[in-house]
Structure 1
Amino acid sequence: MNPTLHSWLERRRDWLGLAVLCAVIFVVMPLAFDVFRLNLIGKYLSYAFVAVGLVLCWGYGGILSLGQGVFFGLGGYCMAMFLKLEASDPVSTKIQSTPGIPDFMDWNQLTALPLFWEPFRHFGFAVVAVVLVPTLLALLIGIAMFKRRVGDVYFSIVTQAIAAILSILIIGQQGWTGGVNGITDLKTLLGWDIRTDSAKLILYFVTAGLLVGCIVLGRFILRSKLGRLLMAMRDKEERVRFSGYDVASFKVFVFCVAAAMSAIGGAMFTLQVGFMSPSFVGIVPSIEMVIYAAVGGRLSLLGAVYGTLLVNFGKTYFSESFPQLWLFLMGGLFIAVVMYFPNGLAGLYDSHGRKWIARLLQGRRAAAKPAPGAAAQG
């Protein structure tokens, strides 16, 4: 490969990749799919927030969290609480025993709105809570674990336990949280009907825009001194600690960033789908979210998005076309990726894609360059 061309591709690889991703999600998919399918893809993109956070946290920070569904779910619940209160005005709930409270509270014989629900009547508070509540929980977990140098598999087990505990707590407190059914029948956002086709289209683009913003933020972090320290900690943590850096604080920071990204994804999921339930908080969805990052490539922010789309497209296609076999087919997909593409889709691109693109560009340049004989005749 031409050294100049190779250098040019390396310098612009991230931005070119981001431009391609933007073209795919902002242009190609809206033109190729109807509103129903686009809303489904929007749901997939909301999962991609978690995968992008895991690339920072796990791929570069070496922190494998198996409880990211906790932060995804908390962000979704914070948004769902506001939407549910808006849908539970006294006129809409006049047939209830206690008008003005969510229907599941009335069914569980509550006669007043719980105190911690009251602030969620305000949209501004709900938006702040979407990011702040999961980030504060991540901060507490991070300080408790990393300051005591709990890491590796022990940290993964702890995050799994937290996911299980929160899921059980949400299901058990049915009168406050909606229980196993979750918070459902969400209709409007500040009077705007989020169930219409136009609303779903707008929410898709908002989700995609926020996702691109998270990718740019992640790239900024990785390009900074902090990103280099994260990679150094992943490979030689003790050496970084002996160099005088507070390793625990860096780990807490990147864990909180990943939690905030996951929470934003959860909020956008709630807006697009119209409900939030504990099925997105537990251990199984958290492990699935790790698979998204692994399939895309745990060292690639863009690969995490493609991995999320691929896994969920496969899940949808297999469940629709082979309802009796789709779980086995999905398992086969995961095994194939691990065996043949251990670095995910991003690794496949690094080993084959860049060489193919370079050859393509070289071929075009060679075709555009006039032959020496033709120049002499001219």
Structure 2
Amino acid sequence: MSERVRGYALFATVALLLLVVAPLALPAFRLDELAKYLCLAIAALGIGLAWGQGGMLTLGQGVFFGLGGYAMGMYLKLHDAGGDLPDFMVWSGVERLPALWQPFGNPVVALAAVVLVPVAVAVLLGALVFRRRVRGAYFAILSQALAAAFVILLVGQQGLTGGTNGLTNFYDFFGRDPEAESTQRTMYFVVAGVLGVLYLLARQLVGSRFGRLLVAVRDGEDRVRFLGYDPALVKTVTFAISAGMAGLAGALFVPVVGIISPSLLGVVPSLELVVAVAVGGRYALAGAILGAVVMNYAKTSFSEEWAGGWLYLQGALFILVMTLAPKGAVGLYQQARDALARRRGASAAAVEKPGVAVKEEVPA
């Protein structure tokens, strides 16, 4: 079986588990939790594309996640208000709807902004940073500082963004009750479907000529530049695609969880996504998704029993993975599979050679 066929067979198996087995086997609460993990997996997929394939360690993916989430939240709050001011603005003493909010009363504008605003910010940042050949740790620190500044801005604008509380208390989601079990189940299928489509598109992109050029930029940016290509353009396009994925993930996160707040977007949540991608395997798109689901499930499970120590465990796990298994769980699986294939090949070759006896090992 070729690698391509094996990959699509694995995709079909995972799709069957997510779309058929999980809805039948999991109670409503656990299915909602899984939907949340899949939203974060969409953002992790974008990190896997930017970091794993392009070498851009983005520590501020929460910014784009938040832009998409707040765009969706702003529309839902305006829709619930029915032409009046959202509740938190009334409490904050705001008398007129801010100009920034007015376009988000239109669902078409809001849905477009979910993707276009993060992409626009990423293009602007990429044009300013990659043209000046900022890369490596410097780019990582810059993206992390952007996340911190974004959270400070959100917290400081109580009347505009809801401050530390963020946007919550949504009562209508396109004509449906967001808290109804049927709506949550529908949202689960929507999130799983979006994740599957984005994975296939990202896989197609990585296998294309652009994907090979992206990997070449990651491994030798100066050589690519000497060959006549523009690494800054390649990195900017990839960074923008990654931001669009994060924005879409944030928009789906809002109806699934029912809130979008600064605590979900800052430096720590962004670092947690990077850790998840590293644990799963940053060089494989499937590894990014696997890491996001497993790490967030572990966070939910372990933090219930060991709330104060989970972050230490998470940090230690990241250090161990980057030191001992830089390709993550998927890399370990590939190494084990290759080793098994070599052993089988060596055994078959020894058997086929005439006059050569295969020595059997006797267990001690």
The Cα shift of 1:331 comes to 4.1
The SS at the match of 1:180 is helix
Structure 2: which amino acid aligns with 1:19?
Answer: A
Match of 1:74 among 61, 67, 72: 67
TM-aligned CA distance change 1:42 to 1:356, over 3 Å:
farther
Q: Which whole-Å CA distance do the structure 1 matches of 2:334 and 2:206 have between them?
A: 18
Return the alpha-carbon distance in structure 2 between the equivalents of residues 353 and 271 of structure 1: 40
When residues 157 and 340 of structure 1 are mapped into structure 2, their CA distance, relative to the original with a 3 A threshold, is closer
Question: Residue 189 of structure 1 aligns to a residue in which SS?
Answer: coil
Query: How has the CA–CA distance of structure 1 residues 324 and 261 changed in structure 2, closer, same or farther, with 3 Å as cutoff?
Result: closer
Corresponding residue number in structure 2 for 1:50: 43
Q: CA deviation at 1:220?
A: 1.0
Tell me, in whole angstroms, the C-alpha distance in 1 between the residues paired with 2:305 and 2:66. 29
Deviation at 1:65, TM superposition (A): 0.8
Query: Does the aligned pair in 1 maintain the 2:148–2:267 contact within 8 Å?
Result: yes
C-alpha distance in structure 2 between counterparts of 1:342 and 1:79, whole Å: 36
Residue aligning to 2:162: 178
Q: What is the aligned residue count?
A: 344
The corresponding residue for 2:226 is 242
CA–CA distance in 1 between the matches of 2:308 and 2:37?
A: 23
Show the counterpart of 1:221.
205
Partner amino acid, structure 1, of 2:65: F
TM-score (normalised: structure 2): 0.90
Checking the alignment, whether the CA contact within 8 Å between 1:318 and 1:330 is kept in structure 2 is: no
For the pair 1:32 / 2:58, whether they are aligned, the reply is: no
Q: Which residue number corresponds to residue 108 of structure 2?
A: 124
Preserved CA contact (<8 Å) 1:17 1:302 = no
Give the equivalent residue in structure 2 for 1:22. 15
The secondary structure found in structure 2 opposite 1:113 is coil
Matched with 1:86 is: 79
Query: CA contact under 8 A between 1:58 and 1:64: conserved in structure 2?
Result: yes
Is the 2:284–2:330 contact (alpha carbons within 8 Å) kept by the matching residues of 1?
A: yes
Residue identity opposite 1:307 in structure 2: G
The TM-score normalised by the length of structure 1 is: 0.87
Match of 2:149 in 1: 165
Aligned with residue 89 of structure 2, among 105, 112, 134:
105
Q: Which runs of 5+ in 1 are unaligned?
A: 1-7, 91-99, 361-378
Q: Note if contact 2:69-2:247 (Cα within 8 Å) is conserved in structure 1.
A: yes
- Which residues in structure 2 correspond to 1:165-314 (within 5 Å)? 165-314=149-298
Q: Return closer, same or farther for 1:228/1:197 CA change in 2, 3 Å cut-off.
A: same
Letter in 2 for 1:296: G
Residue 318 of structure 1 contacts residue 329 of structure 1 at CA under 8 Å; is this kept in 2?
A: no
SS at match of 2:283: coil
Letter in 2 for 1:15: Y
> What is the deviation of 1:21?
2.0
Return the alpha-carbon distance in structure 1 between the equivalents of residues 210 and 42 of structure 2.
Answer: 21
Counterpart for residue 368 of structure 1: none
Are the equivalent residues in 1 in contact too, given 2:278–2:318 (CA < 8 A)? no
Structure 1 stretch displaced more, 343-352 or 307-316 = 343-352
Q: CA deviation at 1:344?
A: 1.1
Counterparts of 1:198 and 1:139, CA distance in 2:
38
1:292–1:326 distance in 2 versus 1, CA, 3 Å:
closer
Alignment identity in percent? Answer: 46
TM-superposed CA distance for 1:189, in Å, is 1.4
Taking the aligned partners of 1:355 and 1:258, their CA distance within structure 2 comes to 34
> Following the alignment from structure 1 to structure 2, what is the Cα–Cα distance between the partners of residues 211 and 276?
20
Structure 1 residues 45 and 142: CA distance shift in structure 2, 3 A:
same
